[in-house]
Amino acid sequence: MRKLITAFYLFVVAAGSLAGAVPARAQTDPLPSWNDGAPNKAILDFVARVTKEGGPDFVPVPERIATFDNDGTLWCEMPFYFQMAFAFDRVKALAPQHPEWKTKQPFKALLQGDVKTAATAGEKGLIAIVEATHSGMTVADFETTVLDWLKTARHPRFKRPYDELIYQPMLEVMQYLRANGFKTFIVSGGGMDFMRPWTERIYGIPREQVVGSSGVTQFRLLKDGKSEMFKTAKVDFIDDGPGKPVGINRNIGRRPIISFGNSDGDLQMLQYTTSGSGARLGLYVHHDDAEREYAYDRKSQIGKLDKGLDEAPKWGWPVISMKNDWKTIFPAPK
């Protein structure tokens, strides 16, 4: 027995020397779609600091909370929020059951293909569209319509499924953070029920780590002994602007240590994140790449980034230039 043990140790030592003899494999770049620059350096440095055991900035695993806005941060939001595209398509699909829409705005415009008029119908018009398409059914049925829509709908410019228009560099960031013990959450102004059916598949973020806007739901026990969650038309929570720290407190209960956003709606989330004690990082994605994606900021109707651009340097938040910092925008088509 002793002989075997000795042989085993010899084997281990030999294997070790052998490994030393071959050239060490180059350490894999965790962010291959990022060009070297301030943003990727800030991310890499931050992760190194908070994961260094015994270091001054070490953060225990349970407190490694990372939050990501979705629209414009993890996936494209132009020419208008994808959830709006979904709602418009749903109006068309539901029109046969609503003859009154033929003469009623903003439905009339939508049904005539005049998305611009519909999109500018103001808050009241949009609420009417959301009510008509996002309530009066069960959560499960709603999710089915979302998944069905994703299978067939195509983005007007890129002619690809909407869930392929996600940002490859951000996928790498999320994966890198998770590999370093972070729990990644979505904190989006978009609808929670709209996102949950697909975030696990496309981002690796499970349903319970999706925080978003929501309507009031009701528990209904049915006569056949089954039960369902029913979506009412009443707004429960708007997870945007100052609502984002509230949503974080409500669904996570920990202050994030790193957050990513792209608009003024993410300002308070970044402030909340980076005003805590210890190592903190907030980053803004800046849409400045009209050629490969879109270029918009201070004057945009959607994803407006105005105050945030002024605040970023004051708070020390790196601003990610999609044009200069990202080698790739979207993953290659499947």
By the criterion CB under 8 A, which residues form the site for a second copy? 1, 4-5, 7-8, 10-11, 14, 62, 139, 183, 192, 196, 200, 206-208, 210, 214, 216-219, 221, 225-227, 229, 236, 242, 244-246, 249-254, 268, 271-272, 275-276
Of 140 and 290, which CB lies nearer to a second copy in the complex structure?
Answer: 140
- Name the helix (H) or strand (E) containing 152: helix 139-152
Q: Which of 19, 22, 40 is CA-nearest to residue 31? A: 40
Instruction: Report how far apart, in Å, the C-alpha atoms of 84 and of each of 72, 81, 99, 130, 236 are.
Output: 14, 5, 21, 9, 19
Q: How far is the CB of 265 from a second copy (least distance, A)?
A: 13
Q: Which of 89, 87, 128 is CA-nearest to residue 106? A: 128
Cα–Cα distance for residue pair 71/213, rounded to 1 Å: 13
Q: How far is the CB of 143 from a second copy (least distance, A)?
A: 10
Of 280 and 287, which CB lies nearer to a second copy in the complex structure?
Answer: 280
Q: Please name the amino acid found at residue 12.
A: V
Q: In sequence order, what are the residues at sequence separation of 6 or more whose Cβ sits closer than 8 angstroms to the Cβ of residue 290?
A: none
27, 229 contact by CB (below 8 A): no
Of 136 and 242, which CB lies nearer to a second copy in the complex structure?
Answer: 242
Of 144 and 227, which CB lies nearer to a second copy in the complex structure?
Answer: 227
Q: How far is the CB of 164 from a second copy (least distance, A)?
A: 23
Q: In sequence order, what are the residues at sequence separation of 6 or more whose Cβ sits closer than 8 angstroms to the Cβ of residue 309?
A: 284, 286, 297, 298, 319
Q: How far is the CB of 301 from a second copy (least distance, A)?
A: 25
Of 143 and 289, which CB lies nearer to a second copy in the complex structure?
Answer: 143
Q: How far is the CB of 312 from a second copy (least distance, A)?
A: 14
